[in-house]
Chains A and B, each alone.
Chain A
Amino acid sequence: MSQPFRLNKEGLINRNKKISFTFNGKKLFGYEGDTIASALIANGIHLVGRSFKYHRPRGFFGAGVEEPNAKLQVEFNGHSEPNVNATEMELVEGLSATSQNCWPSVNFDVGAINNFLKMFFPAGFYYKTFMWPKSFWYKIYEPFIRKAAGLGVASIEKDKERYEHKFEYCDLLVTGSGPSGLASAYAAAKNGAKVIIAEDKPRFGGTLLTDDVSIDNLSGKDWAEKIITELKSMPNVTVKNRSQVFGYYDHNMLVMFERVSDHLEKKSKFTPRQRLWYIRAKETILSTGSIERPIVFGNNDTPGIFLSAAAKEYMKVYGVLVGKKPLIFTNNDSAYETALEFKKNNVEPIILDTREEHSSELIDEAKSKGIEIRFSHGVIVANGYKKVKSAKIGKLNKDKNSFEKIETVDCDCICVSGFWTPSVHLASQSGNKLKYEEKIDAFIPDKKKQHETSVGAANGSFTLEESLKHGFENGSNLSAKITETKTEISIPNVNEKKYGAHDKFWCMPLPKNENPKRFVDFQNDVSVSDIEIALREGYRSIEHVKRYTTLGMATDQGRTSNLNGLQLVSNIENKIVPEVGHTTFRPPFTPITIGTIVGREVGMEYMPTRKTPMHEWHEKNNAVFVDAGAWKRPRYYKLGSETLFEASKREAKNVRENVGICDVTTLGKIDIKGPDAAEFLNRVYTNAWMKLPVGKARYGLMLREDGIVMDDGTTTRISENHYHMTTTTAQAANVLSHLEYYLQIVWPELNVNVVSTTEQWAGAAIAGPKSRDMLSKLYPDLDVSNEALPFMGYKEAEFFGVPSRIFRISFSGELAYEINVKSDHGIFMWEKMMEVGKDFGNQPYGTEALSTLRIEMGHVAGPELDGRTIPSDVSLNGLVSKKKDFIGKNSLGREAFNVESRQKIVGLIPIDRKSSIPEGSHIVQDQNAKLPNPKLGHVSSSCWSVENNNPFSLAIMKDGKNMIGKKFFAVSPLKNKTIEVEVISSHYVDPEGKRVRS
């Protein structure tokens, strides 16, 4: 079990703990502290995936978040997760990783034929090819694209893990724990500020872990450890690793993704897998560092080609060599550090430097250590298919557009450095307009937009001394404004190597007659020639070039490709980069799991469940529930093997014949008090309210200002200045806001208060011809005669010792009452009603029977009051006062509302008296007419009329009042039904309304 590329002692991994895992079925091991990438490289494995479009072999390129290639399907702790970044995912015991986007295997991938057909897959291939014939799209093109494209496979198993959301507030949020981040956090913490410092990697310190520097005579790594230890000990500081701040939103809201337990072998049942932090920060330090960018050359995507800093990180952090015969290809000094690190580990690198021969501290050191340096040299093309075997290198001429000499050298890896790109994503997301910094050939943040302050490499300062200085200064100044305390901190002494100037060189020319692919964007397979084609075809705006070629649109967001792409466009266009501009950075910075976004809001926790006080009784008595907003309401009570249809028919029939009770707790209830309450109601409702006596209820209709019906319900005058309003279940919250709007803003002079009492009262309706008899048994001491408690009457009385309110109101059209008691007494009331009701044939009824009863009576509800109907449309114009003003009155005069052929509610019965008419059916004159068949109306509500024993529906129909007696077709393409219907009055049962008054 030897690991051929593992160094003997270097690295920060725990060599005492071996971890076994599999890759494409092969059993391997690594150490605690390894990533999947470092463990695979230690085992000499580089070929891990196939590219998106051409299925070219791909290996690792980076060592962290910048990785464009190594996305694996990973199974661990019972998950299967696609597109996992192998360079970020920590190794855990038993983990199993497999390659994506290849079939049958990563070694032999059928899709690689695309690579040989690449002349047929140019930029915009999909746009050009799949346009015609149109009929091919669904059956041929789309399935093909779906099969060929895409990365990993999403699991279809239910995610059993726990995800959490957390809301946090702080004075200063520091994003990144490199030198500038640590310095900022430390200075702010010393000033007493509430600080959160977030690091996306497991280890704190950023470049301090890999750079050969010292701070106050400590190594960078030791200094980082010292600062972090001190920060952790401070009560005003939250220190978080494995935490990526991925989004910068409005008003300084930042969102962070914490990988809480993916790296743990065993965890408690209550430990979440991942956590999403919403952090509202007063100030934000963006110390996100920089990402190395490559130099573009032929076949630069071959496995074994790395970013130079990544190669160094593998050695320093993981004790892993990316190769034993490295070529270092650079245009700047930083890659020399990688070369020196190789040399330290007894590996002989060759440095190819695009710059002309010159001298700097690092060049001199490399020379003194005997490292071979070739100036004015670069890699032209990498050789090898599944792994780099050699490289064709060339000596560049003075203009760097052709070669003076070309030769081939053996190598097993190429470490490339094209200088550094500040990570400006968060700054850009905050709204910061970036500016182009000529000195470093990259964009850096411009003037602050929110409270973001970029420091260190993220702000284009690439020296440790500057980074620390910026960090301490900004951390101190920003926090001092908040805490009004300033603790003096002496800036430590720094020892670092001085870098010389870099070469503004980013793409190798090609020798004549050679045309290997030169990739700019690895993840989306965008090459230099693709961008050239896009420009040749007339795309100019960088945003268009991006979309046409998909440059920078992959999950890595073009971290290693954006600037090279811009350089290419600016060269071809003969513009400078800032003229070309940059594309928009959008959150999330790194892909995050759906589970984390959802958090705990799944299943039962998706939304609150509202249950009435009688809910348990309903459950025990075989109620089948239906959702009404957040409420659970009994839809029907199932007896034996009854269906919904049978049960609702039985329940409704029993109400018409005997008596039934229905839980109406969910109706919205609003308590209205104040000397101006009557005047207020008079303005809110369309009908007159000034003369309603105490102890009486009235049905009321509410409009919006545009004349459309908003809601209906009854309101009862409890006492002189006290009213009890009911609303529909669905509109309860809207009506309350509506009333508050008018009281607070429009008529603040009215002395009225409103408050929701929906949850305070439990309600039960008693409906049916025997309801009075039953009521008299429920209230033996009360006169419940028609004279003493008439229709729309109201009484307060004790219900077996419990205070209660009795309303004589009816939704079913039968003689009916509604009893309200305090919620705590709801179940007592209900059980008493069931007990007393036995003698009268009482049965509980659900919402389905309730609908049947109201539909055949022609009472309107939500489906008719659908936000498109005015009072006359639903035959409620009798409730519209002509004498007084009210909300929406002025709109009722609109011409369209008053045309003769205006839509109106009607009733429909099928000619065969048997076929139920599906709700939503369209009413047409001629069922065979050519499409689009003119629509005359729609079916809003349907039921089986228990009174007449045949189907009955309500419909809103054009010129409805003149359609009575005519025949039409109700067509439901959804249910594939066409039913011949006759139009009748919407009041199918008891049109005179005698029963409610009986």
Chain B
Amino acid sequence: MLYIKCPYCGLRAQKEFSYGGDATVKRPNINEEVPSEDWDNFVYMRKSPRGKHIELWQHIAGCRQWIKVQRDTATHEIFQTAKVTEEIR
């Protein structure tokens, strides 16, 4: 079971979180014309990298904040966690 550091609450067990997918995907702006290829990429296309991956988790049984987690998908190592407003380099 992963041990995830919520930037608001500290280290908590994985069972308090729910997974939210790739954090680097940007939703096209609302009220703007979006080329259908861009839209399809946003809705359907995701990379499934082996290695470092920045993803979203929600601290659902805690502060309910969505957070960013940089995790190695092969080893589960977590390098960094951050608020969604912060950048992970």
Interface of A toward B, CB cutoff 8 Å: 167, 249-253, 278, 280, 431, 449, 683, 705-706, 737, 740-741, 744-748, 884-885, 890-891, 893
Docked-complex contact B42 and A705, CB < 8 angstroms = yes
A interface footprint on B53-89 (CB within 8 Å = 1, 0 otherwise): 0001010100011100000000110100000110000
Docked-complex contact B3 and A745, CB < 8 angstroms = no
The 11 sampled A-B contact pairs (Cβ below 8 Å) are A167-B13, A249-B1, A251-B3, A253-B1, A705-B43, A737-B60, A744-B84, A745-B84, A748-B84, A890-B34, A891-B43
A interface footprint on B15-57 (CB within 8 Å = 1, 0 otherwise): 0001010000001101110101001001110000000000010
Interface of B toward A, CB cutoff 8 Å: 1-3, 13, 18, 20, 27-28, 30-32, 34, 36, 39, 42-44, 56, 58, 60, 64-66, 75-76, 78, 84-85
Residues of B within 8 A of A280 (CB): 3, 13
Q: How far is the CA of A884 from the CA of B13 in the complex (A)?
A: 42
Which one of A251, A741, A884 lies within 8 Å of B76 (CB-CB)?
Answer: A251
A746 and B27 contact, Cβ closer than 8 Å, known pairs A280-B3, A706-B43, A891-B39: yes
Residues of A within 8 A of B78 (CB): 251
Residues of B within 8 A of A251 (CB): 1-3, 76, 78
Residues of A within 8 A of B84 (CB): 744-745, 748
Q: How far is the CA of A706 from the CA of B65 in the complex (A)?
A: 24
Q: How distant is B65 from chain A, measured CB to nearest CB, in Å?
A: 7
Of listed A251, A885, A893, residue having the most chain B CB within 10 A: A251
A253 and B3 contact, Cβ closer than 8 Å, known pairs A744-B65, A885-B30, A891-B39: yes
A740 and B20 contact, Cβ closer than 8 Å, known pairs A253-B1, A891-B43: no
Residues of A within 8 A of B65 (CB): 744
A250 and B2 contact, Cβ closer than 8 Å, known pairs A741-B20, A744-B65, A885-B30: yes
Q: How far is the CA of A250 from the CA of B27 in the complex (A)?
A: 32
The count of A-to-B residue pairs whose CB atoms sit within 8 angstroms is: 55
Docked-complex contact B42 and A893, CB < 8 angstroms = no
Supply 11 further A-B pairs (C-beta < 8 A) apart from A251-B76, A278-B1, A890-B36: A250-B2, A280-B13, A431-B75, A705-B42, A737-B58, A741-B58, A741-B66, A745-B56, A745-B66, A745-B84, A747-B30
Residue of A nearest to B76 (CB): A250
Nearest first, the 5 closest Cβ-Cβ pairs linking A and B are A251-B3, A890-B39, A250-B76, A744-B66, A885-B31
Residue of B nearest to A251 (CB): B3
Q: How far is the CA of A746 from the CA of B84 in the complex (A)?
A: 10
Q: How distant is B72 from chain A, measured CB to nearest CB, in Å?
A: 11
Residues of B within 8 A of A278 (CB): 1
Q: How distant is A372 from chain B, measured CB to nearest CB, in Å?
A: 55
Residues of A within 8 A of B27 (CB): 705, 746
Residue of B nearest to A884 (CB): B31
Q: How far is the CA of A747 from the CA of B2 in the complex (A)?
A: 29
Docked-complex contact A683 and B30, CB < 8 angstroms = yes
Q: How far is the CA of A740 from the CA of B43 in the complex (A)?
A: 19
Residue of B nearest to A756 (CB): B64
Residues of B within 8 A of A431 (CB): 75
Q: How far is the CA of A249 from the CA of B15 in the complex (A)?
A: 14
Residues of B within 8 A of A893 (CB): 36
Q: How distant is B78 from chain A, measured CB to nearest CB, in Å?
A: 8
Q: How far is the CA of A748 from the CA of B86 in the complex (A)?
A: 12
Q: How distant is B5 from chain A, measured CB to nearest CB, in Å?
A: 11
Docked-complex contact A740 and B2, CB < 8 angstroms = no
Residues of A within 8 A of B18 (CB): 737
Residues of A within 8 A of B36 (CB): 890, 893
Residue of B nearest to A736 (CB): B64
Q: How distant is B30 from chain A, measured CB to nearest CB, in Å?
A: 5
Residue of A nearest to B34 (CB): A890
Docked-complex contact A740 and B1, CB < 8 angstroms = no
Q: How far is the CA of A884 from the CA of B66 in the complex (A)?
A: 27
Residue of B nearest to A748 (CB): B85
Of listed B1, B18, B44, B75, residue having the most chain A CB within 10 A: B1
Docked-complex contact A740 and B58, CB < 8 angstroms = yes
Residues of B within 8 A of A747 (CB): 30
Residue of B nearest to A754 (CB): B64
Residue of A nearest to B32 (CB): A885
Residues of A within 8 A of B32 (CB): 885
Residues of B within 8 A of A167 (CB): 13
Q: How far is the CA of A741 from the CA of B31 in the complex (A)?
A: 19
Residues of A within 8 A of B85 (CB): 748
Residues of A within 8 A of B13 (CB): 167, 280
Residues of A within 8 A of B75 (CB): 431, 449
Q: How far is the CA of A250 from the CA of B1 in the complex (A)?
A: 6
Residues of A within 8 A of B34 (CB): 890
Residues of B within 8 A of A737 (CB): 18, 58, 60
Q: How far is the CA of A746 from the CA of B65 in the complex (A)?
A: 13
Docked-complex contact B3 and A740, CB < 8 angstroms = no
Q: How far is the CA of A947 from the CA of B73 in the complex (A)?
A: 57
Q: How distant is A827 from chain B, measured CB to nearest CB, in Å?
A: 29
Q: How far is the CA of A482 from the CA of B85 in the complex (A)?
A: 32
